[in-house]
Chains A and B, each alone.
Chain A
């Protein structure tokens, strides 16, 4: 598509046969694009057709849309705080996994193995339901305030559960990002006389960060949806509101569809934001004319 201008300016100098080939290629590209749009429209039409056959109450959906949207606040709050926590944990986790210090390596490896090996759902309940029990037991043996400190309200429990869980997955992402930077970078920095922490901070991490931005964006998008797990603890976020209203009026299909659509739109916006961030982070890799 962007070849329009250049091929037009070249056209004068090109032989007719070559121009025809270029035109055919352009036509093929345009055909592909148009076909994809048609396919998507077709899928949406089919979906709407099926849904209207089921006798969906569009008015009801519209009526409660505002109420559902009010839950976005909690959804985003939980997701943003949890992903921030996860990034911090993942950074230290990755440094631990790459460390020559047996304590750091041992702790990081155990953490990743344990958290990745257990279901998120179980972990959420652990933070919310099991932790208070531990607190009470500790208080019983004389640790002051243990019960009240370890009895977490739903939102902090959810943020901790999601942050700690995603931190484990992202530890491996960060580790891979750090390891993707070639040994030559470390060698060049060491040859200048840098210490290992300086090499990490000044040379490796800035480059590794750019590598892990796409996977972090990916994790964040998945986090936005997993944040619905905090509804299990009665937080009035998006999906909790949807199931509540759906059950009350026996309109679960409508409410869940609205909730799904809201999640989807949020994720589309996040994907776009991720694309822009990646572009801005690609300083140094960009070629002329791309700025």
Chain B
């Protein structure tokens, strides 16, 4: 019996005054599972992901990450500390990379461990270099983000998240702002990460990744799950009409 590392219960997100973006979703993710969330734009996929690490404060519901439970709502001081704790367990990769432009690739990677975990600099550098090697960018350690291609920047961003030793990785459309020929180098890194047993939730339009790497695909529309299941079932015999319509649009 595996235990779930992520448990979401009755999650709602309302943007003031009354934009109801997430309308009550539940989710359980097992350790090591790779979940892909797909759906039309504006369906709430990104918002859902950002609620998991409280970059958006969910309005109602309960989120449990690796044993830390936070009741959504108006957060008090203690809950803010819990939020920081779960953020350290959960790396996030953004559509627009968001590397720190004033820091080199290596400095970007060690920033989290040094500032947040107070890791000794030499130790952080050693680990940072290993991570840059792992994403295939050892030779770019001293380069600033402005001198890297989009694919390289995104790989540095993945290394930066991994430097915090997260148990979970969230990917928010990691390849959507990349030139087509650069997408595969990022996907390749994500595949390796999945093979190494990382728990991943990925919002993406890369259907190949969903089909080949994920164990579960969730289809989202208008703030709720339309349906979910193994990729084979979702792509070949979807149960819901809305899933069929969405897939017809993108495939």
- A interface list, Cβ under 8 A from B: 182, 184-185, 187-195, 198, 202-203, 206-207, 210, 283-288
Contact = CB atoms under 8 A, between A and B. Distances in A.
Contacts, number: 75
28 contacts: A182-B98, A184-B96, A188-B98, A188-B100, A189-B100, A190-B55, A191-B53, A191-B55, A191-B91, A191-B161, A192-B111, A192-B160, A193-B85, A193-B88, A193-B112, A194-B116, A198-B115, A202-B111, A202-B115, A207-B100, A210-B102, A283-B102, A284-B103, A285-B101, A285-B144, A286-B144, A286-B146, A288-B147
Residue of A182, A283, A284, A286 with most partner-chain B CB within 10 A:
A284
Interface in B88-141: 88, 90-92, 94, 96, 98-104, 111-112, 115-116
Contact of A207 (B87, B102, B116, B161): B102
Interface of B: 53, 55, 84-85, 87-88, 90-92, 94, 96, 98-104, 111-112, 115-116, 144-147, 157, 160-161, 164
A interface, by DSSP: helix, strand, loop or mixed? helix
B160 A207 contact: no
Given A187-B94, A192-B160, A210-B102, 9 more contacts: A188-B94, A188-B99, A191-B53, A191-B55, A193-B87, A194-B112, A207-B100, A284-B145, A286-B146
B116 A192 contact: yes
B168 to A, nearest CB: 12
A193 B160 CA distance: 12
A156 B146 CA distance: 45
B116 A193 contact: yes
B74 to A, nearest CB: 14
Contacts of A288: 147
B87 A190 contact: yes
A207 B164 contact: no
Contacts of B145: 284
A202 B103 CA distance: 10
A287 B116 CA distance: 31
B144 A283 contact: yes
Contacts of A187: 55, 94, 98
Nearest to A288: B147
Contacts of A285: 101, 144, 146
A183 to B, nearest CB: 9
A92 to B, nearest CB: 22
Nearest to A206: B102
A203 B91 CA distance: 18
A188 B100 CA distance: 8
Contacts of A190: 55, 87
Contacts of B144: 283-286
A189 B87 CA distance: 10
